[in-house]
Structure 1
Amino acid sequence: MSCADRAVALVIASMFLDWLLGDPRWLPHPVVAIGRLVAALERLLRRFVANERFGGVLLLVLVVGITAGTAWGVVRGAWLLHPAAGFAVEAALGWTCLAARSLHGESGRVAGAIARGDLPAARHALSLIVGRDTEALPEPEIWRGAVETVAENTSDGVIAPLFWLMIGGAPLSLAYKAVNTLDSMVGYKNERYLRFGWASARFDDLANLVPARLTGVLMALAAPLIGLLGRNAWRIMLRDGRNHSSPNSGIPEAAAAGALGVQLGGTNSYFGKPVAKPVIGDPLKPLDAAAWQGAVRLMYGSEGLILLFLGFFVLRGVTVP
């Protein structure tokens, strides 16, 4: 099996494991270990490194290096033991980088609570997957939070890990997850992390530069195949893709907003302070259960296009460069 063939098989196997098994709560997850490593190294570096920017650079290098190095050692050892063991271990590690089924399930708890008429439970479920204040959100805003989370994380939690998995196997995909975890933990623009988290935030922007745009394209291509608005997805992505504080997150959110015919963005509250953000998309349709269901279909449709693309090359016997 060539390196390209192995990469294709690895991506397909990891994708199916995620679809079948999701993220079992009893299974130790590498991202949890990465989070603990970040917290431990932050305490150490803040204690011994006076310059916050330099300490933040060291944190980025150490966390990503330790994560990738450990993953490479585990995978390499398994491959040396036996090719079947090597592939199984690498596919399992690749599976832990993907979050399609988990994202579906977590956002589904929000939808389920609204369907039962239990808005307090819906707000609590939403608070577990977004950073904004949720205590007083009305139903349409709860739906907006759920749709935005699925749209944004289709890139961060699905397409981007698959992209890096195909390029560099499980070690590179886990390195990406380390960068993503660093950004979620120290990439804040507040007094504590403005300087210390700068390197992690900028590197996360760089790591998502291509995957976010690939996600937007996949969403626009998938939309008409699953009964959504394909032309509108392209139009809104090109028009509103930059209406976001992140250079990347606006792309998949705009593609999803266009495909669904809804308007995302607007004012959110963080720690009791309202933060006004540009709107994305046009309010052609309401933010409701149908919008959330469409966002989930769009996530799986985008992932399915990658599977179809890889399957085409496998069946044709063409190796991916």
Structure 2
Amino acid sequence: MILIFIAVAIDWIVGDPYFLPHPIRLMGSIIAFEERFFKKYFSTKTGLEFAGLLIVLINISLAIFPMYFIFSFLGPRTKNVLTVIIYYYCISARMLHYEAMEVKKALDISLEAGRERVKYIVGRDTENLNENGVVRATVETVAENTSDGIIAPLFYMVIFGPLGGLTYKFVNTMDSMIAYKNERYIHIGRAAAIVDDIFNYIPARLTGLLMALTNIYPKKIVETLKDIKKFARHHSSPNAGYPESAVASILGVQLGGGQFYKGLWVEKPKIGYEKNFLTRECIFSTIKVMYKTEILFLIFYFVISIIF
């Protein structure tokens, strides 16, 4: 518990400076190499799906066994230091905060600057987004990544320790790189998408619940929970709808809707009620929800650890 708290504190203070090496970049390089390698030998639908399954199995093994081997040779103090480092690298609240605020600052300069900056954190086409669209994309990203980048890794680290955190990050990185429903990835990324959905099933719902509980008033908590129940399954992802519908309810805004991806229009249902307009301030409000959710998770973890 103490090691996780230390790692969270380091993340809040330091974030993820670009000049520091990061294991996610190494994971991304491995996944890109695997895709190129297996596509040399597999070209059919079945073959590519099998290759995708191999990629998942190989990378989960890479997340577990080398580090397990290393830990077996370390003394207690060195093991604790390495554990904190792994925990720190697995969570990304400060970086998510930074990237979202960079979009807001860019919008303060111009719409074109906002469109350009939001490309760093979203996969949709941004050249034709209006200011509302840029804000919506940023809010949705912060909401979804509160689960993917904070609560989910914390959840697996609490249960399985540093190996759990590394495994989750490898799974999530595979999903972000090859689990797309386009011609290039539809088959080879199928296994990665399924495994990521399984890994995020509980954390996404836990994130939605924690977000609802960040409300001060019981009436608002109940209202947010009702909105999550109504809108969460509208999302094309079986998991992303939970944090997004929670944020939509808390802010009183409407998220979702169709978007262009690689020039192709993808129809998506809308999430939430449009009680308020999406403004630039909604970005900062979502960041506050993110931090409150993380703190609430740590409080519950602390209490449960003390009781049991």
TM-score over 0.5 for the alignment?
A: yes
Tell me what 2:65 maps to.
69
Q: Distance in 2 between matches of 1:268 and 1:44?
A: 32
Aligned to 1:223, the other structure's residue is in SS state coil
Normalised TM-score (structure 2)? 0.94
- Aligned-pair CA distance for 1:187: 0.6
Aligned to 1:287, the other structure's residue is in SS state coil
Check whether the contact 2:101–2:284 (CA below 8 A) recurs between aligned residues: no
Tell me what 1:219 maps to.
211
Deviates more, 1:237-246 or 1:272-281: 272-281
Change (3 A) 1:56 1:257: same
Aligned to 2:128, the other structure's residue is in SS state coil
Tell me what 2:147 maps to.
155
Q: How many positions carry a matched residue from both structures?
A: 305
Change (3 A) 1:229 1:111: farther
Matched, 1:172 2:161: no
1:167-203 CA-to-partner distances (Å, cap 9, x unmatched) read 1111111111111111111111122221111111100
Matched, 1:48 2:24: no
1:79-98 matched pairs, under 5 angstroms: 80=74, 82-98=75-91
- Aligned-pair CA distance for 1:246: 0.6
Aligned to 2:238, the other structure's residue is in SS state coil
- Aligned-pair CA distance for 1:76: 3.4
Q: Distance in 2 between matches of 1:228 and 1:141?
A: 30
Matched, 1:28 2:28: no
Q: Distance in 1 between matches of 2:152 and 2:39?
A: 31
Check whether the contact 2:23–2:89 (CA below 8 A) recurs between aligned residues: yes
Change (3 A) 1:21 1:228: farther
Say which of 280, 295, 302 aligns to 1:304. 295
Matched, 1:263 2:254: yes
Check whether the contact 2:228–2:245 (CA below 8 A) recurs between aligned residues: yes
Check whether the contact 2:147–2:204 (CA below 8 A) recurs between aligned residues: yes
Check whether the contact 2:3–2:83 (CA below 8 A) recurs between aligned residues: yes
- Aligned-pair CA distance for 1:45: 1.8
Tell me what 1:5 maps to.
none
- Aligned-pair CA distance for 1:49: 4.2
- Aligned-pair CA distance for 1:229: 4.4
Deviates more, 1:255-264 or 1:305-314: 305-314
1:105-116 matched pairs, under 5 angstroms: 105-116=98-109
Tell me what 2:121 maps to.
129
Q: Distance in 2 between matches of 1:291 and 1:153?
A: 16
Q: Distance in 2 between matches of 1:56 and 1:246?
A: 20
- Aligned-pair CA distance for 1:25: 1.1
Change (3 A) 1:49 1:254: same
Say which of 276, 282, 292 aligns to 1:291. 282
Tell me what 1:183 maps to.
175
Q: Distance in 1 between matches of 2:290 and 2:192?
A: 26
Change (3 A) 1:76 1:239: same
Normalised TM-score (structure 1)? 0.91
- 5+ residue gaps in structure 2? none
Check whether the contact 1:94–1:170 (CA below 8 A) recurs between aligned residues: yes
- Aligned-pair CA distance for 1:84: 1.7
1:5-55 CA-to-partner distances (Å, cap 9, x unmatched) read xxx223212211211111011111111001111111222222234511111
Identity of aligned residues (%): 40
Tell me what 1:4 maps to.
none
Deviates more, 1:282-291 or 1:159-168: 282-291
Q: Distance in 2 between matches of 1:275 and 1:46?
A: 27
> Cα RMSD between the aligned structures?
1.7
Check whether the contact 1:143–1:288 (CA below 8 A) recurs between aligned residues: yes
Check whether the contact 1:34–1:67 (CA below 8 A) recurs between aligned residues: no
- 5+ residue gaps in structure 1? 1-7
